[in-house]
Structure formats: C-alpha cells, structure tokens
C-alpha cells in the first residue's frame, strides 16, 4: 500500500497484492480528475461494481 504522489503525478491511495502488482487505485490524476480503478493480476482494468 502506498499513499502519496507517484512519478505520473497521480496523488492517492495505491494498493498492491502480495506479488507487488497494483490492484486498487483511488487517486487524482495529473489533470485534476478523480479516478477509481480496480485491476486484475495482468494489470487490466476491471469494471467497477
């Protein structure tokens, strides 16, 4: 888990699985848009439920 600003200038909460792969991202992007993303083990975006 990481809370802060990454190298893409996204600020938020980034949760990784046990393998270190990103799985949940709640953040504000570099353009100021709020984003929520869930990713599968391959890094593909999953639909929000």
Per DSSP, the residues of 1-49 read -EEEE-TTS-EEEEEE-TTS-EEEEEEE-TTS-EEEEEE-TTS-EE---
* pTM of the model as a whole: 0.83
pLDDT in tens, 22-41: 999 999 999 999 999 999 99
How many Å apart are CA 28 and CA 13, to the nearest integer? 9
Contacts 24+ apart (CB under 8 A), 15-18: 17/41
Kindly state the average pLDDT of the residues 5-24: 96
pLDDT computed for residue 49 by the predictor: 82
């Amino acid at each position: 888990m990481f809370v802060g600003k990454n190298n893409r200038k996204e600020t938020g909460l980034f949760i990784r699985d046990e393998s270190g792969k990103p799985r949940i991202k709640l953040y504000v992007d570099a353009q100021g848009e709020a984003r929520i993303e869930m990713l599968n083990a391959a890094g593909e975006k999953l639909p929000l439920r």
